A and B are shown apart, each in its own frame.
Chain A
């Protein structure tokens, strides 16, 4: 049983966070893991849509969301947030982009700031598949088609009514023929 750490206030992330982090093995060990994820987070903030392998994408998504949520909560005058932004973004112009572009964009979001979509896999293979990690509100065309509820569109309403009419007419005809049969017998 451990007490929660009280030193920092963090915003709740709106993505599914796994209980344990992935090791992401590399020769330098845990320091190398963060170095790799730094490159991924920098690329995500720079290009706003990147294609990479799924395990690294999932880990980087958590760090990107944490960075943006801290920037929104604390702003750029907060020393700790600026230190984190300076560490996680290898290109310093992206620190400006984070606070000047991404923070206003996501200020009033009630959902997560990024989207992780599974990408194409080369078949056959036993490795984790590709994934596309993108920041929401990016200027590119959408990856997945927009889902609409077509039920109440006019042509569907008319078609549904036509089907109901046809069925009820058929039932009347069937009822008519059975009555005439019973009457005859």
Chain B
């Protein structure tokens, strides 16, 4: 059963760098992210009903509820001022088209991934990077994720746009979740928590139905830090051991009423009915692509023989 941990709120640290749509760059950046709360939800719902050929019965295609966690970039940006239904529909069509060409696997913050990008300036024309996903965001074709690794004692983060045509391959080497939805605190943690071998092999999952949550608590380096982690209610960090004045100031600055602000939550999310409609639209195509890939994988070793 998927467990959702309580997540942190945090403010924008460094200014967000802007990237060209199809470029991939090598910087240490922080990116804006909305505060998130989670609650334990019963994920049990009925099996999705498939559309039958019988037109007299009004059967409706319904995607499983986990789709919104597996494909969060299909949901549009909730900001009302910039919503455009037609643009969103066209973007979804383009996203499905790209997904039919390349496999974009299911991944979460805390998964270790390897991305191969076409690079004209590298000797073998491809650049491969392995790292842990510390954050993901964006919606539609501009969905991105950041991979972090420590190479030759230098921390390196790369922001990849998931639907960039330069990306050749995205592999998930270890699929797991962490206690927080954003692992930006790894920048202030000891380097061993961000180091992963660049020639890491993909690990086999023991249980395909459940994504494991790694309850690792990370040790931070001594201050100064990039952000005020004590104000962010982080679950995946060991006790910060700060003087009491930090916690007092955090309490003074906190906004406890936001937990009860129903309209604030409403403006930050897409309503359930709309989510169902969107995933019902893309569900059948995504399932077909999954099946084709599974068949290709099964036939793969046979073809080699």
Contact = CB atoms under 8 A, between A and B. Distances in A.
A103 interface: no
A6 B32 contact: no
Contacts of B269: 4-6, 8, 10
A2 B77 contact: yes
B137 A3 contact: yes
B39 A80 contact: yes
Interface stretch (A13-21, A156-164, A175-183): A13-21
A129 interface: no
Given A17-B266, A66-B262, A7 B4 contact: yes
Interface in A63-106: 63, 66-67, 70, 73, 79-80, 83-84, 87-88
Nearest to B275: A9
B32 to A, nearest CB: 7
Contacts of B136: 3
Interface string B7-36: 100000000000000000000000011101
A128 interface: no
A12 interface: yes
A10 B37 CA distance: 14
B271 to A, nearest CB: 4
Chain B interface category by residue count: 35 or more
A39 B118 CA distance: 60
A1 interface: yes
Contact of A7 (B36, B139, B142, B260): B36
A23 interface: no
Contacts of A12: 271-274
A11 B272 contact: yes
**Which residue, A1, A67, A79, has most C-beta atoms of chain B within 10 A?**
A1
Contacts of B79: 2, 19
Contacts of A4: 72, 75-78, 139, 268-270
Contacts of B47: none
Contact of B262 (A1, A31, A70, A79): A70
B81 interface: yes
Contact of B267 (A6, A17, A70): A17
B41 interface: yes
A116 B6 CA distance: 37
Interface string A148-177: 000000000000000000000000000000
Interface string B200-233: 0000000000000000000000000000000000
Contacts of B78: 2, 4-5
**Which residue, B32, B33, B262, has most C-beta atoms of chain A within 10 A?**
B262
Contacts of B264: 21
Nearest to A19: B80
A121 to B, nearest CB: 26
A10 to B, nearest CB: 6
A164 to B, nearest CB: 44
Contacts of A88: 260, 262
Nearest to A66: B262
A11 B263 contact: no
Nearest to A28: B257
29 contacts: A2-B32, A2-B34, A2-B139, A2-B268, A3-B75, A3-B139, A4-B75, A4-B77, A4-B78, A4-B139, A4-B268, A5-B265, A7-B7, A8-B37, A9-B41, A9-B275, A11-B273, A12-B271, A13-B266, A13-B271, A17-B80, A19-B80, A19-B267, A21-B263, A21-B267, A31-B257, A83-B260, A88-B260, A88-B262
Interface of A: 1-13, 17, 19, 21, 30-31, 34, 59, 62-63, 66-67, 70, 73, 79-80, 83-84, 87-88
The list of the 10 closest CB pairs from A to B, nearest first, reads: A12-B271, A66-B262, A19-B80, A7-B38, A5-B269, A4-B75, A9-B272, A4-B270, A87-B260, A5-B268
Interface of B: 4, 7, 32-34, 36-39, 41, 68-69, 72-73, 75-81, 136-140, 142-143, 255, 257, 260-275
Given A1-B137, A7-B36, A66-B262, 19 more contacts: A1-B138, A2-B33, A2-B268, A3-B139, A4-B72, A4-B77, A4-B78, A4-B269, A6-B36, A8-B265, A9-B275, A10-B272, A59-B263, A62-B262, A62-B263, A63-B263, A70-B262, A83-B260, A84-B260
